[in-house]
Amino acid sequence: MKPTLTQNTIMEEDPTATAERKKNPRRYSLVHQASCETQHHIGVRRQNTIQHRKQLNDQMRGQKIFQQLNDEGIELIFAANEGCIEFSVIMSSTDTLPNFFTDIINSLKSANVQIAHIESRPGKVAGLDVLADCRATKRELIEAASFLTKLHNSLTAFSVFKKKSNEVEVWFPRHISDLDRCSKCITKYEPTTDPRHPGHGDEEYIARRKFLNDQALEFQFGDEIENVDYTETEHATWKAVYEKLGDLHESHTCSVYRDNLKVLQEEGVLTSDRIPQMRDVNKFLQKRTGFELRPCSGLLSARDFLASLAFRVFQTTTYLRHHKSPHHSPEPDLIHELLGHVPMFSDPLLAQMSQDIGLMSLGASDENIEKLATVYWFIVEFGLCKEDGKLKAIGAGLLSAYGELIHACSNTPEHRDFDPVVTAVQKYEDDDYQPLYFVADSIHDALAKLRKYASTMDRPFSVIYDPFTKSIETIKSSVDLEKAFSRLSNDLSAITRAADRMKIITSA
């Protein structure tokens, strides 16, 4: 049997654990997660290309072009069927332009490649580049490339690229029910495998955590969220964190957080004695901003996590941090979600900012997912704002962590103005408290900058959320905007009627 939990064991952290944070990663990072996913995808694609290059080389009897062709060109040719494909090609040479142009035209024409556009430019290093938009079968493309390679001795590069299209290539959820496919757990920090985890070796804690995760794993869209029978140890952990953070809420947190926390307390949703049930929290959030918590079994991929925000859904863990380390958690836990995120999701502007980040992520490239995850981390998780000339926390990671909340608002770390362009590429430090925090003038300011940043992201379509059907509309042309304009027109008509009525009442 384990010893009885006391106030002393729960209020103080093990000094050795604090020391360990100085030399080991101290918490799970959405930024690190996104970076790992990007590198994993790059590795998988690279291995696939190596295999495809070999297969094409075998099929085409070892033509030299397959050793020289760029990876994207290999994938384009490998995936092409027997019909025509449209592509762009960049060819480089150290020869003169007339000689190079003549050899290119002869090579392409001899293979029946259709040229839609062709132009030249100085090479990036030396010589010159010729760019051409073409149409051909994959055999015609291979024949033209092979012919040019043999004909033009000064050729230094032959790279083929897929022409940009408006087709959506990355799957993303279109309806809130599709989030069932975005709930796959990506575990990177478990007490069963990592000795640095505060719960490592505690079999009772590990079993309890697994039980809660298994329950969350079974959740599907349309299911009623079951109440959890939390243990007295878990309630005591909650109480310790709740009361210790309460001392800082007035002095270190933004007014939005304080105001919404007060309402949550007045309505009895958040109390110090008992952990609130997710079902009760959702009733409150739905009335305030339409956000809702959805149980998940652990750490999700950055893409899946961000996609959920597009539907105003926050994927929420149901387990708690270890009771011997109540004021530090190396990963998101229920205390972090309830004390950090819920009061902020209760605010219309913060809820909108979170949803906007989610909408930006839908169908985005791996590179942009990593940037969005970084922006989310530095503003929604660890962001600050200015109020009355002082720094105040708006990030959930600060609002639920006593030590870092004090650190972030002090003069110790560096503070920079929030700029999504800069923030998106900022390296995240995870071996101790962060040396740098980003500061927004206000939540309004952060939201405006995020929307401006979104307009610079390269995506061949836009998305709009339909709150009535809880679905995503993909906008590729003006025709796709008709439904959205119809909803906007109805809303404006209702507002206009209300305004006219107010004028009549005021003038009466």
Q: Break the chain into its structural domains and give their ranges.
A: 60-162, 172-454, 477-507
Cα 477 versus chain centre, distance? 26
- Cα angle, residue 349 at apex, residues 348 and 351 outer, rounded to 5°: 65
Q: Is 341 annotated as a binding residue?
A: yes
Question: How far are the Cα atoms of 88, 105, 114, 156 from residue 149, in angstroms, in the given order?
Answer: 17, 13, 19, 9
Question: Which tokens is 58 given?
Answer: 């075998």
Stronger pLDDT, 40 or 351, i.e. the higher one: 351
Q: What residues are labeled active site? A: 336, 341, 381, 400
Q: Is residue 414 within 8 Å of 438, Cβ to Cβ?
A: no
- Does the pLDDT value for residue 352 go beyond 60? yes
CA distance linking residue 465 with residue 223, whole number of Å: 22
Percentage of the residues of the chain whose pLDDT score is greater than 90: 49
Residue 40 binned pLDDT confidence (cut-offs 50, 70, 90): low
Reply yes or no on domain 60-162 having CATH 3.30.413.10.
no
Is there a contact between 438 and 384 (Cβ–Cβ < 8 Å)? yes
What mean pLDDT, rounded, does the chain reach? 84
Q: pTM for the full model?
A: 0.71
Determine the average pLDDT of the residues in 153-173: 77
Angle at CA of residue 400, ends 399 and 402, nearest 5°: 90
For a pLDDT cut of 70, what percent of the chain falls above it? 86
Tell me the range of 51-55, 198-202, 223-227, 298-302 where mean pLDDT is highest. Answer: 223-227
What's the pLDDT at 430? 64
pLDDT at 383: 94
Task: Give the confidence band of 247 by pLDDT, cuts at 50, 70, 90.
Answer: confident
Average pLDDT of 190-213?
Answer: 88
Q: Which pairs from 109-113 meet CB under 8 Å and 24+ separation?
A: 110/143, 110/144, 110/147, 111/136, 111/140, 111/141, 111/143, 111/144, 111/147, 112/136, 112/140, 113/140, 113/141, 113/144
Residue 405 confidence (pLDDT) above 50: yes
| Per-residue confidence (pLDDT) for residue 36, from 0 to 100 | 66
**pLDDT value at residue 38:** 66
Distance of CA 36 to the CA centre of its chain: 13
* pLDDT surpasses 60 at 22: no
Name the band, by pLDDT with cuts 50, 70 and 90, for residue 28. low
Q: What is the CATH number of domain 172-454?
A: 1.10.800.10
428: exposed, middle or buried (Cβ count in 10 Å: 0-12, 13-18, 19+): middle
Q: Do the annotations mark residue 336 as ligand-binding? A: yes
What mean pLDDT is predicted for residues 433-449? 90
Model confidence over 318-338: pLDDT tens digits? 999 999 988 887 788 999 999
Q: Is 117 annotated as a binding residue?
A: no
266: nearest Cα among 284, 251, 282:
284
Query: Given this model, what pLDDT does residue 41 score?
Result: 64
CA 35 to CA 237: how far, in whole Å? 32
Does pLDDT of 195 surpass 90? Answer: no
